[in-house]
Amino acid sequence: DPDTGVYNLSYNRLMVKGKDRLGIFMTVGKHLNAIYSKLEDLGKPLEVAVSIGNHPACAIRALAIGPYEEEELGILGALKGSPLEMVKCKTVDSMVPAGAEIVLEGEIEPFTREEEGPFGEFSGYATRAGMNPVLRVKAITHRPDPIYQDICGGQHREHLVLATIPMEANYLRVIKGAVPEVEAVRVAAAFTLIISMRKTYEGQARTAMIAAFNADLYLKHVIVVDRDIRIADLQHVLWAIATRVQAERDIFIIPRARGSSLDPSAEPLGVVDKMGIDATAKPSLDQIAPICKVPKEVMERIKLEDYIDEAF
């Protein structure tokens, strides 16, 4: 940010359009787009550096979600366990990791839009081509015999797992700050989060869901379950929805909210309807028998060898 000097680290897709021109996609509502829009209003380009082949901590921090004013390079050092050595670029006023394999230096031009895309995104769809800004490359620097580190995009596990780690950490931090009884979260699919909590009063689950939606504009579906539900087991989560949810009482909709433009079902600029599902147990469950299961002490008394022949 030219006003604060705070660095933004992020992943942004780039489309080669010429020897010194790249189409760039910046999500509306995210930090890089906010910085670019601020400078474009002044008729100025945004200087950037594209760093390829970095320490793993760089990847985790670039995908993490935090406040706009947060100093991301400092957090990067905390993840690494020591300060990350940085060097100044040659043609733009920016710093880059000294250990990067390849660095592209350039400017994102104001008031310039060219067709960019389609691209196979994490949602599992090839998003539509659109008119997006252009990054003009001014210089390329690299190490001897550089390694070009790439990520297999789309729904490949490398893409999804890399993004999920910092996302879940941020969601847990933000939601637990609003509802301390939240114990765990899991990104179950694109735009979808499951929250596990120790519910102590009615309405608490909805408070957790609202906190989740505030944590990240990408979220579209949030499901809250009790601590007895295994959130890594989607069949168990669906069982909670099937047996603990009544639609009118437990589902709420936030219409026409800001979401992700990478959602293929969204309206232009990523306008979506968001849904929260309270799949926690309700007082009405107290009126029926508890969950049916064989007591632990009974299971411990059962010896399979008493019933199954060794030759079986």
Q: Please give the positions annotated as active site.
A: 121
Rounded to whole angstroms, how far apart are CA atoms 51 and 136? 15
Nearest to 225 by CA among 197, 204, 246: 197
Tokens for 76, please give them: 């990067």
Instruction: Label residue 103 exposed, middle or buried (CB < 10 Å: 0-12, 13-18, 19+).
Output: buried
Q: Yes or no: say if 277 and 208 are a contact pair by the CB < 8 Å rule.
A: no
Residues 6+ apart with CB under 8 A from 238: none
Give one word for 139, left, alpha or beta, with left for phi > 0 and alpha for psi -120 to 50: beta
Tokens for 78, please give them: 């905390």
- On the CB side of 159, CA atoms within 13 Å amount to 17
Q: Yes or no: say if 268 and 259 are a contact pair by the CB < 8 Å rule.
A: no
